[in-house]
Amino acid sequence: MDWTLFGWAGIQLEIPTTWEISGISGDEKNGYLRLDDAEMPRLELKWAKTRKKKPDLHKTLDEYFKLVRKNYKRGGNVSFRRNVDLIKDEDFLKGHTVLGFSWKGGIRANGLIIHSPDTKRITIVQVMGRLKENWRPTVLRIFQSISDQGDPKNTVWSAYGLRLAVPKNYKLESQKLLSGYLLFAFTRGKSRKLSIERYGPAEVLLNEFSSEPNPLETWFRARYAKAIRGYGFEVTPHEEHGDERITFVGQQTRLYDSMPFSPLLVLDKLRKRVRLTFFIWHCYHTNRIYVVQSIGRHETSEKLAQEVAKSIHCH
């Protein structure tokens, strides 16, 4: 069985590579996510912010058991156990309050309720399996890999083979998880925006522009014509790890660009301009196109896009 690191809303854990997102709701403060394999639901995550220093996890578990009974009663009667101690390591999730549980019906599950005083969040992690499945090693590996802190600077986000790291001060605004297209869009304040997109299959998308000197750049200019209108760009094509890459770094162009001003006034106006950076690459190995876009009024917007692009390993 192959494994991979999965991250969402600050929660990180290892999962089998065959498990993928099948349902998602909420935001970074309060939300729900489910992972399925080809046969059945495999993992559920629920998270919620709390103001209480010592929340009653047993009360939280009572409410969760009600949801389980409602959602899984078709498989027959559901029996529950709490205070299930699967992991004996005293240092497991040190500094957190942890309550283990299990239940059995048409399928069975083991789970943890975790309260982190640092993130002020209650997280429920539940792993499900068939009744006669030898799944204890899988459950243990997932539980032992859980972290709700991870990298202190970045938050890991994952979906359908795409994994990226974004600074914690950028909050997820929206996502689209479609066949052939993935989007993660983040914001920081009113003027800073960051987006990561993945398109496929690249061969089909670029075929229309195959007669052009640079099909990838021509595709990008056509696809993002509205987004780049009003900007002047410096374009830098290059290759890296066998992938074709193009960097677009631009600033807003304005009417007064052709007017004479003092050097200090020109510098002041340039500093206030919106900067737009794109890192685009065609991954030949996976037949996909990646686009990382950063918008801001500061020169660090280019560095941000570069760092996020580096966190993505397409193959």
Instruction: Please classify residue 177 by burial: count the beta carbons closer than 10 Å to its beta carbon, then call 0-12 exposed, 13-18 middle and 19+ buried.
Output: middle
Q: What is the DSSP string of 144-208?
A: HT-BSS-SSSEEEEEETTEEEEEETTSEEEEEEEETTEEEEEEEETTTEEEEEEEE--HHHHHHT
Maximum average pLDDT range among 53-67, 75-89, 138-152: 53-67
Q: What is the mean pLDDT of residues 203-220?
A: 97
pTM of the model: 0.88
Instruction: Please classify residue 306 by burial: count the beta carbons closer than 10 Å to its beta carbon, then call 0-12 exposed, 13-18 middle and 19+ buried.
Output: middle
Give percent of the chain with pLDDT exceeding 90.
Answer: 75
Maximum average pLDDT range among 93-97, 200-204, 226-230: 200-204
Least confident of 44-53, 145-154, 175-184, 304-313: 145-154
Task: Give the SS3 label for residue 36.
Answer: strand
Dihedral (CA of 129, 135, 141, 144) sign: positive
**C-alpha to C-alpha distance for 168 and 186, rounded to whole angstroms:** 10
Residue spans in the chain of domains classed CATH 3.40.1000.10: 154-310
**C-alpha to C-alpha distance for 48 and 28, rounded to whole angstroms:** 8
Residue 145 pLDDT = 94
Residue 147 pLDDT = 86
Tokens of 268: 């002041």
Task: Give the SS3 label for residue 135.
Answer: coil
Residue 263 pLDDT = 53
Residue 204 pLDDT = 97
Question: Quick check: 125 pLDDT over 60?
Answer: yes
Q: What is the mean pLDDT of residues 196-216?
A: 97
Question: Quick check: 197 pLDDT over 60?
Answer: yes
**C-alpha to C-alpha distance for 310 and 279, rounded to whole angstroms:** 10
Peptide bond into 201 cis (omega under 30): yes
Instruction: Please classify residue 226 by burial: count the beta carbons closer than 10 Å to its beta carbon, then call 0-12 exposed, 13-18 middle and 19+ buried.
Output: exposed
Q: What is the mean pLDDT of residues 208-226?
A: 96
Bridge partner list, 108? 104, 129
**C-alpha to C-alpha distance for 90 and 311, rounded to whole angstroms:** 33
**C-alpha to C-alpha distance for 303 and 307, rounded to whole angstroms:** 6
CA dihedral 7, 13, 19, 22 (to 10 degrees): -50
The DSSP H or E segment spanning 141 is helix 136-144
Q: From 3.40.50.300, 2.60.120.10, 3.40.1000.10, 1.10.10.10, which CATH number describes the 154-310 domain? A: 3.40.1000.10
Mean pLDDT (the chain) is 90
**C-alpha to C-alpha distance for 34 and 44, rounded to whole angstroms:** 5
**C-alpha to C-alpha distance for 260 and 31, rounded to whole angstroms:** 54
What is the pLDDT confidence band of residue 300, given thresholds at 50, 70 and 90? confident
Tokens of 299: 């020169």
Q: What is the mean pLDDT of residues 95-103?
A: 93
Question: Thinking of the domain 3-144, which architecture would CATH place it in?
Answer: 3-Layer(aba) Sandwich (3.40)
Q: What is the mean pLDDT of residues 259-268?
A: 46
Residue 271 pLDDT = 52
